[in-house]
A and B are shown apart, each in its own frame.
Chain A
Amino acid sequence: MTRLAIAINKTRCIGCQTCAFACKMQNNVPEGMRWNRVITEGCDVEDGALGTYPNLSRSYLPIACQHCENPACQRVCPTGATYKDDKGRVEIDYDKCIGCRMCMAACPYNARVFNWNEPVRKPDFNFGDKEVPVRPKGVAEKCTLCKERTDRGEEPMCVRCCPTKARTYGDLDDPNSEISKLIAERHAYVLLEEQGTKPQVHYFE
């Protein structure tokens, strides 16, 4: 089996948002949507800080689909549009999506975005990878772990573009992969472990 995933070194993340925009470019993500966002943890304002001066702290958390082993979104999808593929990625078949948004209610990570309107792009053309399907209005979408790139054997665009090399991509089922070693050595953890979704995306300090 293959379980493709990303591990993110939070100490390296500088909150530059490059991964968020690289994702948007690659995947033809329309206006008003992000598949990947970088939040300033626990803060009401972006680039804010926690604590009282001079004891302040700030940390960034890049968050997208966690490609869970036990995906809540897949469980609730009435039409089977959301599925777990043979490479361990959670994917959406847009032709099957009826836009009920059950998945958005079930996802604990708010990873999904919905095409509320006819998608608007600025500039006004499909700027993404030509292999990435263009989604119509009325369907849900989210990070595909750059399905089209990873199918070609390339790494996801967010991993490729991260200027601080905070992201590592690989196969969790291969014990010799860089990602498996990092997760073991750096005591990586997952987001909202108590939700029981068993995310494949890992974080470490």
Chain B
Amino acid sequence: MTSGKTKIAYAVLGILTVAGIAAWIYQLMGGLGVTGMNNGTSWGLYIGCFMFFVGLSAGGLIVASSASVFHVAEYKKVALPAVILSTACICVAGIFVLVDLGGIQRVWRIITGFNPTSPLCWDICVICLYLVINIIYLVFMTSNKDDADRKVAIVSRFALPVAILVHSVTTWIFGLQLSREGWYSAIMAPLFVVSAMDSGLALLMLVLGGLNKSGWFKTEKKLMSSLAGLLATCVAIDAFLVGCEILTMVYPGAAGAETLAIMASGVTAPFFWAEILLGLLIPFCILVFARNRENMGLVMFASVCIVIGVFCKRIWLLFTSFFMPNVYGAPGIISGSSASAHATGMDVWAVVGTYAPTWVEIVIVIGVISLGALAFLVLCQKLLPAAKTAEADGANAAAEGAAA
């Protein structure tokens, strides 16, 4: 039985998912030229969202498994919604890689031609492993058998390192590329793990807030305040690592300073400053005070800021390094995109990278996220004990209302 509000949510998400699938079929027919990507900026919104969702996923699982590993009894209470969220997010991340492929019909070549030096290969392995661990985790957590608790504790010992690894390996797709000034840095992996924790935890708080409201899952206010404290700590560590990275980039006044100039005052500046403000400064200033952590409205506001801020971070990180070619000179790089196929003369060339997502990309991104949200709702309804009863009550109430 499903109540009216949930039905509407399912319907809306379903329609958006179908729209996304339709746009993806359109992209398969026309090729990736229907996106805004081109030879200069060869990765776009899809890969940005991929990084973002791997992070969102890792965050939830890190909290859930630390609870088991370090025996934080309090946090164990939110482990189930955290792992459901983590499972939905990692599926979303995986789908983003698949929609970004130009030749998805040849994707099996990764298995037959597996190249052990490719970070993309490592990432595929670790994401699959991570998904499997998430599912095992869910199975054990919802099991009624006597030794389920012990099994959860065992799985959590694997889940925690794999959750950290999944985000590190995703970072290494970027962080190991010497050719890209803004990516190549040893701090990138820890930085990503921490921003995964703060964005993932912030999303978890938002989801817990939502579940609380719907009556699907009750979280004590005290626990929410405690999680908000952890969130503030993660934001502070994130800010520290970002600061280390920026200082190291700018200090020699060499190539790194040029890259920083693109971030601080160039094309990706709006995203950079949005991250500094929304992702770090505002939420930290709110959450650092115990009184604010008691106020659920403020905690939710800070969480929204963090999620948006970390998304902006993915955007500036990805695109800053595509902006300036290493070998600079006119006419630059030939675009190769659909738009340029109809352009004439010199319009197909660009001395610096340019990119703007097209409607196809945006519809696909919304569709994939809707699919993830749908999966999350279904899993919650099936696995959260309170959700079943709440929904049944809601449906009964709705039926009574209709009868009256």
- A residues sitting closer than 8 Å to B (CB atoms) are 31-34, 37, 39-48, 61, 63, 72, 75-81, 95-102, 104-110, 112-118, 120, 136-139, 191-192, 195-196
Taking the nearest CB of chain B, how far is it from the CB of A42, in angstroms? 6
How long is the Cα–Cα vector from A110 to B324 in the complex, in angstroms?
11
Q: B341–A106 contact, CB under 8 A?
A: no
- CB atoms of B118 and A77 under 8 A apart: yes
User: With a CB–CB cut-off of 8 A, which chain B residues contact A136?
Assistant: 103
Residues on the A chain within 8 Å of B113, using CB: 78-81, 96
Q: Is the CB of A75 within 8 A of B118?
A: yes
Closest to A106 in B: B177
Report the separation of the CA atoms of residues A104 and B329 in the bound assembly, to the nearest whole angstrom. Answer: 18
For the complex, give the distance between the alpha carbons of A37 and B329 in Å. 11
Within the complex, the shortest CB–CB distance from B339 to chain A, in Å, comes to 9
B51 within 8 A of A: no
Closest to A191 in B: B327
Interface centre among A39, A100, A104, A117 (most CB of B within 10 A): A100
Q: Which residues of A contact B327 (CB under 8 A)?
A: 39, 61, 63, 108-110, 191-192
Q: B117-158: which residues lie under 8 A (CB-CB) from chain A?
A: 117-121, 124
Specify which chain A residues have a CB less than 8 angstroms from the CB of B341 in the assembled complex: 31-32, 117, 120
Looking at the assembled complex, report how far the CB atom of A103 sits from the nearest CB atom of chain B, in whole angstroms.
Answer: 9
Decide yes or no: A76 and B120 within 8 Å by CB, A61-B329, A63-B327 being known contacts: yes
| A43 nearest in chain B by CB position | B330
Q: Which of A39, A72, A102, A116 lies in contact with B332, CB distance below 8 A?
A: A39
| B4 is an interface residue with CB less than 8 A from chain A | no
A78 to B37: give the CA distance in the assembly, Å: 21
**Which residues of chain A are near B246, meaning CB under 8 Å?**
none
The dominant DSSP class at the A interface is loop
B337 CB-CB contact with A under 8 Å:
yes
Given A32-B340, A100-B120, output 4 extra A-B contacts at Cβ < 8 Å.
A81-B113, A99-B103, A114-B336, A118-B30
Nearest-CB residue, chain A, relative to B39: A113
A191 to B327, CA, bound (A): 8
Interface residues on chain B, number (Cβ under 8 Å): 56
Question: Smallest CB–CB gap between B38 and chain A, Å?
Answer: 7
Give A31's nearest chain B residue, CB to CB.
Answer: B341
CA distance A44 to B115 in the complex (A): 39
Nearest chain-A residue to B346 (Cβ)?
A46
Contact A98–B101 (Cβ < 8 Å): yes
Q: Chain B's nearest CB lies how many Å from the CB of A119?
A: 9
Which chain B positions have C-beta within 8 A of A81? Answer: 109, 113
Which of A97, A102, A137 meets B31, CB within 8 Å? A137
Q: Tell me the bound Cα distance from A129 to B104 in angstroms.
A: 29
Contact pick for A108, options B97, B104, B179, CB 8 Å: B179
Interface residues of B in 286-342 (CB under 8 A from A): 325-338, 340-341
CB distance from A88 to the nearest CB of B (A): 19
| Cβ contact of A99, chosen from B30, B38, B102, cutoff 8 A | B102
B40 on the interface (CB 8 Å rule)? yes
Chain A residues in 8 Å Cβ range of B330:
39-40, 43-48
A-chain residues with CB within 8 Å of residue B351 when the two chains form the complex: 44
Checking B102, B329, B336, B348 against A138 with a beta-carbon cut-off of 8 angstroms, the contacting residue is B102
Render B338-360 as a binary contact track against A, CB cut-off 8 A, 1 for contact. Answer: 10110000101001000000000
A72 x B178 contact (CB < 8 A): yes
- B173 interface hit (Cβ, 8 Å): yes
